[in-house]
């Protein structure tokens, strides 16, 4: 069976800094894959390459068997309709009220009537535990946790086939982080969507993943079912999941 997303030999660099180096990854339909890795390891770059926001120098990215690298703008727009994305800082549009943020993909992308789109937006807000009154607020009036929920509501509003989560729990307290994790699991299951998340929060990763993959020095150095992460036999993975300073992953710090 063709994977939902198939990545082969992906290479992306910024000047002399190679961020993704011959990266291979398959994501099966309906699966929730979490890519873990340290800060600056290229996780966000990987998501942006799949979405066509960044163009890799080499390699192939196929979505439903369709090559998206260097795809023309019109086809890329069509493929992007399959995606929903929750951004790290939610990336809500400041100039629009909350309900219009949630309904944005319906109004602009699917040309739905504003009244109908607003109704769906209120339903999606309810699905992430927010009252209809929140829909009339401006994003600037929301707390961090509420912004994440609104971002999640926007990501699922168009019932996408694939949802990306970029550091979904970063900046939240542990309880709110867990609430967001539960919502992610619930929404992905309800939609039957394929999910790709990137995080360095292991509690979050364990909760939302079916499979995990670890990105290190531009390559996927280990991948497997979430249950096997503790017995991966990979020293890099062990160091990362236990958050140890000592190990094969060296941080570039100088003595004071």
Partner 1 sequence: MPILQPLGRTFLLFLQATGRIVLFTSTSVSHCVRPPIYPRLIGRQMIEIGYYSLPVVGLTAIFTGMVLALQSYTGFARFSAESAIPNVVVVSITRELGPVLAGLMVAGRVGAAMAAEIGTMRVTEQIDALDTLATNPFKYLVAPRLIAGLTMLPILVLIADIIGVFGGYVVSSYKLGFNPATYLKNTMDFVEPQDVISGLVKAGVFGFLVTLMGCYHGYNSRGGAQGVGAATTNAVVSASILILCFNYFITELFFAR
In the block, tokens 């961020």 appear at 19
User: In terms of CB distance, is 37 or 105 closer to partner 1?
Assistant: 105
User: In terms of CB distance, is 56 or 105 closer to partner 1?
Assistant: 105
Which of 157, 171, 251, 232 is closest to 204 using CA atoms?
171
User: In terms of CB distance, is 53 or 227 closer to partner 1?
Assistant: 53
Can you tell me the distance from the alpha carbon of 36 to that of 199, in angstroms, rounded to the nearest whole number? 5
Neighbours of 37 (CB within 10 A): 23
CA atoms within 13 A on the CB side of 224: 11
CB of 140 to partner 1, least distance (A): 12
12-16 long-range Cβ contacts below 8 angstroms, 24+ apart:
12/42, 12/45, 12/49, 12/54, 12/56, 12/57, 13/57
CB of 63 to partner 1, least distance (A): 13
CB of 173 to partner 1, least distance (A): 22
In the block, tokens 């946790």 appear at 145
CB of 68 to partner 1, least distance (A): 13
- Give the pairing type, strands 58-63 and 5-14: antiparallel
166: β partners: 198
- Locate 178 and state its tokens: 């867990």
CB of 90 to partner 1, least distance (A): 9
| Residue ranges that bind partner 1, judged by CB under 8 A | 48, 51-53, 73, 77-78, 80-81, 83-85, 87-89, 91-95, 104-105, 108-109, 111, 154, 164
Reduce the DSSP state of residue 142 to 3 states and report it.
coil
Rounding to the nearest 10 degrees, give the CA dihedral for residues 182, 93, 135, 90.
Answer: 10
User: In terms of CB distance, is 89 or 143 closer to partner 1?
Assistant: 89
User: In terms of CB distance, is 93 or 248 closer to partner 1?
Assistant: 93
Which of 222, 239, 223, 175 is closest to 203 using CA atoms?
175
Which of 177, 203, 109, 118 is closest to 153 using CA atoms?
118
User: In terms of CB distance, is 197 or 223 closer to partner 1?
Assistant: 197
CB of 10 to partner 1, least distance (A): 19
CB of 194 to partner 1, least distance (A): 15
User: In terms of CB distance, is 59 or 160 closer to partner 1?
Assistant: 160
- Locate 149 and state its tokens: 């929920």
């Amino acid at each position: 069976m063709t994977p939902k997303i198939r990545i082969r030999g992906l290479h992306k660099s910024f000047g002399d800094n190679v961020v993704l180096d011959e990266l291979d990854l398959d994501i099966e339909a309906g699966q929730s894959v979490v890519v873990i890795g340290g800060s600056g390891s290229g996780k966000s770059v990987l998501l942006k390459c799949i979405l066509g926001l960044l163009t890799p120098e080499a390699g192939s990215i196929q979505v439903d068997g369709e090559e998206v690298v260097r795809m023309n703008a019109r086809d890329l727009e069509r493929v992007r309709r399959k995606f929903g994305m929750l951004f790290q800082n939610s990336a809500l549009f400041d100039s629009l009220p909350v309900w219009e943020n949630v309904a944005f993909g319906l109004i602009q992308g699917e040309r739905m009537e504003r009244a109908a789109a607003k109704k769906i937006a209120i339903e999606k807000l309810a699905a992430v535990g927010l009252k209809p009154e929140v829909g009339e607020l401006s994003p600037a009036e929301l707390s961090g946790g509420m912004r994440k929920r609104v971002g999640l509501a926007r990501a699922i509003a168009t019932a996408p086939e694939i949802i990306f989560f970029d550091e979904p729990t970063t900046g939240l307290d542990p309880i709110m982080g867990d609430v967001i994790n539960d919502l992610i699991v619930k929404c992905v299951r309800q939609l039957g969507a394929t999910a790709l998340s990137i995080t360095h929060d292991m509690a979050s990763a364990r909760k939302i993943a079916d499979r995990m993959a670890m990105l290190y020095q531009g390559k996927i150095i280990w991948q497997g079912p979430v249950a096997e992460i503790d017995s991966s036999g990979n020293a890099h993975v062990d160091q990362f999941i236990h958050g140890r300073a000592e190990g094969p992953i060296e941080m570039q710090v100088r003595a004071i």
